[in-house]
Amino acid sequence: MLGSSFGSSSTPHEEEENNPSPPNFYDLHHHHHHHQSFASPPIHMRQLLISCAELVARSDYSAAHRLIAILSSNASPFGDSTERLVHQFTKALTLRLNRASTANTTSFMIPIINPNTTTSANEEALLQSSYLSLNQVTPFIRFSQLTANQAILEAIDGQQAIHILDFDIMHGVQWPPLMQAVAERFPPPTLRITGTGKDIEILRKTGDRLTKFAHSLGLRFQFHPITNQDPVSITSSVILLPDETLAVNCVHYLHHLLNDRDRLRLFLHRIKAMNPRVFTVAEREANHNHPLFQQRFLEALDHYAAVFDSLEATLPPNSRERMAVEQIWFGREIADIVANEGENRRERHERFRSWELVLRNSGFGNVPLSTFALSQAKLLLRLHYPSEGYQLHVLQDSCFLGWQNQPLFSVSSWH
């Protein structure tokens, strides 16, 4: 595929010799196969993007502007996966360039659609609908939620009162399958879910939907919303009943705490002190938190090349959902990683290796994912996303979802 040769991080490049990329997670296990016939145009565009990022980093604005003009003429939100990817990265570089060249560093403080800041109702609605599209057209969220659910179900087996603390519950789409599985147990346990989020309206609607669903299953259920609190203080405001078994769920959440390592460590110590039966973690398998802009840019380029390639392979060319996901959801992430600096940078993904270190240092031990969890994840991919490109790997007791040998997401379970 065009995009996979574009994103293949094992092709030698002059730029990368001076600025080496971290080794691919699977390099020990796999060898890349190159599609030589496709390699030249995408790699040429990749080189141009990397050169442009270097010019921006060196504050050579006029040369960067010239390169951006060339990149823009080779990019389109409606083209193939390479053209669409180049379009998003060129947009993000232009944003960074404009901020940097219009005077001083304060220009870096203009956030894009940043979930931390107030967004207009219209932007918020666009984000919500693109999130729902993302959930439908890619396996990324479903894989993370399904695998986390399986780990939770296995950990709470035989318990009569279950309490799930879910950080950033959003629409709560993770929980109906778990509720169904819990309701089939005999005798059915009671279930409480505490969901955190920034919008009380969305939380209320989520609570109502889950409560109705629980009612239809005959499941004794309660929902508690918690908004806008500091994550550390949330841990002390959750009320645990004496006989309850606690599960804590952080699916695509922890990276938001990486801008303050001490706070992250405190948060994890507090979670550990709550003594959950299981703590589920899902994260991006990419280092978008590298302090050096060029290194971060390179990581993002290879990660999103694989993501766009997977969308190209699994959706029709004129798919409106795909356009929304690429331009609104992934476009916002790319803009955040490339154009934002300092406190404003939110998408601080890190690889499983560093999460493993942080979690072990906070007193957590890895719980191996069961073979059943793995076969369920494989079934999900076969049923919903019938493409040879998606792959599952188990490494260090954790499960990775990848595209063409490039890992994109990890799910792990801890206690």
Q: What is the DSSP letter of 386?
A: -
Q: Higher-confidence residue: 405 or 43?
A: 405
**Pairwise CA distance, residues 230 & 228, whole Å:** 7
Tokens of 103: 């005077």
- Residue type present at position 277: R
Torsions phi, psi for 387 (to 5 deg): -140, 140
**Pairwise CA distance, residues 93 & 357, whole Å:** 32
Length of the chain equals: 415
How many helices (H) and strands (E) the chain has is answered by 16, 9
Among residues 42, 57, 54, 73, which one has the least CA distance to residue 14? 54
Q: What is the DSSP letter of 412?
A: E
- How confident is the model at residue 41, as a pLDDT? 52
Residue 112 pLDDT more than 70?
A: no
Q: Higher-confidence residue: 22 or 194?
A: 194
Q: Angle formed by the axes of helices 81-101 and 293-314, to 10°?
A: 150
Residue 119 pLDDT more than 50?
A: yes
Q: Which of 81-95, 116-130, 348-362 has the lowest mean pLDDT?
A: 116-130
Burial class (CB in 10 A: 0-12, 13-18, 19+), 188: middle
| Homologous superfamily (CATH) for 138-285+349-414 | Vaccinia Virus protein VP39 (3.40.50.150)
Write the DSSP string, 164-190. Answer: EEETT-TT-TTHHHHHHHHHTSSSPPE
- How confident is the model at residue 33, as a pLDDT? 38
Region 323-329 average pLDDT? 94
Residue 226 pLDDT more than 80?
A: yes
Give the mean pLDDT of the chain: 86
* C-beta atoms surrounding 135 within 10 Å: 18
Residue 1 pLDDT more than 60?
A: no
Region 386-413 average pLDDT? 91
**Pairwise CA distance, residues 336 & 48, whole Å:** 20
Torsions phi, psi for 108 (to 5 deg): -75, -10
**Bridge partner residues of 250 (DSSP):** 281
Range among 72-76, 215-219, 226-230, 312-316 rated most confident:
215-219
- How confident is the model at residue 322, as a pLDDT? 94
Q: What angle do CA 414, 152, 354 make, to 5 degrees?
A: 30
Task: Spell out the domain ranges in the chain.
Answer: 2-105+294-344, 138-285+349-414
Tokens of 152: 């939770």
Region 252-267 average pLDDT? 95
Q: Identify the residue whose tokens are 């293949």.
A: 8
pLDDT (tens digit per residue) in 260-303:
999 999 999 999 999 999 999 999 999 999 999 999 999 999 99
Q: Which of 112-121, 189-198, 387-396 has the lowest mean pLDDT?
A: 112-121
**Bridge partner residues of 367 (DSSP):** 413
- Whether a cis peptide bond, with omega within 30° of 0, leads into 22 is no
Question: Cβ contacts of residue 45 below 8 Å, gap of 6+?
Answer: 6, 71, 74, 82, 86
- Residue type present at position 247: A
Strands 406-414 and 278-284: antiparallel
Burial class (CB in 10 A: 0-12, 13-18, 19+), 310: buried
Check if the beta carbon of residue 328 is closer than 8 Å to that of residue 91: no
pTM, two decimals, is 0.85
Region 83-99 average pLDDT? 95
**Pairwise CA distance, residues 317 & 81, whole Å:** 10
Residue 11 pLDDT more than 70?
A: no
**Pairwise CA distance, residues 310 & 328, whole Å:** 17
Region 231-254 average pLDDT? 94
Q: Is 217 left (phi over 0), alpha (psi -120 to 50) or beta?
A: alpha
Torsions phi, psi for 20 (to 5 deg): -65, 140
Region 387-396 average pLDDT? 87
